[in-house]
């Protein structure tokens, strides 16, 4: 925002538990509305941000997402917590740049219907979906044979099934290419992150699961590709830096000049590709199962996985317990085939409770 003050102005911010960061950013960017998670933080910030409307909890998120005069919401809250404010923004006709996979994973059909009804745009921020968006923009969907999402393979790429039981959180968090939060980094290590992206792509681009492929591409230079019915493939390449897809979503259909983002073909070395190992990393296969089942099943996949990853990071379960827990939750779930936002969130809540019980029993 500081690089292009003539193009962007921040009116509202949501910062969850990071109240000090909210304070810093609100002062820097001149935000008029701030939302944090805890009431005590909101009370403190009101004293330090005179003239700024400071709220907390879900009410604060909804206020930020639907603030009058806002033209675009950047939705990047981790997990299903981002669904209601994102849905509210779309219902209000506000464009959304979506960096939160779970919004479309948990309630993709309802979210896309809300956008279509209000005329709001959904612009992808994930590097893979931004790549596909750029590759197919303006193309006839009937001409697209399939889309190919690339995956770095995460911190544990190349390891076999028998090598993964003893993986520690520290090992899973050592992503070779991207700097991300702990939850998404572990998801990258299990390949669940790619599975969530498959589900997200299904809704963003209207593609069935059998037209969405995944290739492991360790160099993270080709961010994703679209293959057309004549065999032609359009790929989007770039450095591994999220500023690119974020800037494109915010400025679309224009592009803004970003310094130090040039890709040097002479220095990047060879580009390699391989099939994902679904025996060692079954989470990707579970995501395909969830999207084929449809209904509330993706919500269960996402909710159970979120609790499982948190437990792994807290050393309460092992690395390979993550997909095992998710698989058991999916097996136990009675799918609602036509979910609303409310029933999708209910399924997410059911999955979280199931996962908590599964972890508790495992500890006995």
Residue range 322-358, pLDDT digits in tens: 999 999 999 999 999 888 999 999 999 999 999 999 9
Residue 226: which residues within 8 A CB-CB, separation 6 or more? Answer: 132, 135, 136, 139, 144, 146, 147, 148, 233, 234, 235
Task: Answer whether residue 364 shows pLDDT above 60.
Answer: no
DSSP for 311-327, written as a single string: HHHTTSS-TTHHHHHHH
**Displacement of CA 109 from its chain's centroid (Å):** 16
Kindly tell me the burial class for residue 260, based on how many C-beta atoms sit within 10 Å of its own C-beta (0-12, 13-18, 19 or more).
Answer: exposed
Q: Which domains does the chain have, with CATH numbers?
A: 12-124 (3.40.50.720), 127-293 (no CATH)
Does the global pTM surpass 0.85?
Answer: yes
Return the H-helix or E-strand segment holding 101.
helix 101-118
In this predicted model, what pLDDT tens digit does every residue of 276-307 receive, in sequence order?
999 999 999 999 999 999 999 999 999 999 99
Interval 125-138: pLDDT, tens:
999 999 999 999 99
Beta-strand (E) ranges in 69-154? 72-75, 95-98, 122-124, 144-151
Q: Which of 363, 346, 355 is nearest to 80 (CA)?
A: 346
pLDDT in tens, 67-91: 999 999 999 988 888 999 999 999 9
């Amino acid at each position: 925002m500081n690089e292009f003050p003539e193009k962007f102005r921040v009116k509202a911010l949501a910062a969850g538990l990071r109240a000090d960061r909210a304070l810093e950013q609100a002062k820097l960017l001149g935000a008029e509305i701030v939302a944090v998670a805890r009431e005590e933080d909101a009370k403190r910030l009101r004293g330090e941000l005179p003239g700024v409307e400071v709220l907390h909890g879900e009410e604060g998120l909804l206020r930020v997402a639907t603030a009058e005069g806002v033209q675009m919401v950047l939705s990047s809250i981790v997990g299903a917590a981002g669904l209601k404010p994102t849905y509210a923004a779309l219902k209000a006709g506000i464009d959304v740049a979506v960096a939160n996979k779970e919004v479309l994973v948990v309630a993709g059909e309802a979210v896309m219907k809300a956008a279509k009804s209000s005329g709001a745009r959904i612009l992808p921020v994930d590097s893979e979906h931004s790549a596909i968006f750029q590759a197919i923009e303006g193309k006839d969907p009937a001409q697209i044979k399939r889309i190919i999402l690339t995956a770095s393979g995460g911190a544990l790429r190349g390891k076999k099934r028998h090598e993964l039981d003893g993986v520690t959180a520290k090992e899973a968090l050592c992503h070779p290419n991207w700097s991300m939060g702990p939850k998404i980094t572990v998801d990258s290590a299990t390949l669940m992150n790619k599975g969530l992206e498959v589900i997200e792509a299904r809704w963003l681009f209207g593609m069935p699961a059998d037209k969405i492929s995944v290739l492991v591409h360790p160099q993270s230079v080709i961010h994703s590709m679209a293959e057309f019915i004549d065999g032609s493939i359009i790929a989007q390449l770039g450095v591994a830096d999220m500023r690119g897809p974020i800037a494109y979503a915010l400025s679309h259909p224009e592009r803004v000049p970003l310094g130090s983002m040039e890709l040097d073909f002479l220095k990047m070395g060879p580009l390699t590709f391989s099939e994902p190992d679904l025996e060692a990393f079954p989470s990707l296969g579970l995501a395909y199962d969830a999207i084929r089942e449809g209904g509330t099943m993706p919500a269960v996949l996402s909710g159970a996985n979120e609790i499982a990853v948190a437990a792994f990071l807290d050393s309460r379960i092992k690395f390979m317990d993550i997909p095992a827990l998710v698989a058991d939750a999916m097996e136990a779930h009675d799918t609602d085939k036509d979910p609303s936002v409310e029933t999708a969130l209910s399924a997410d809540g059911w999955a979280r409770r199931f996962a908590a019980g599964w972890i508790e029993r495992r500890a006995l």
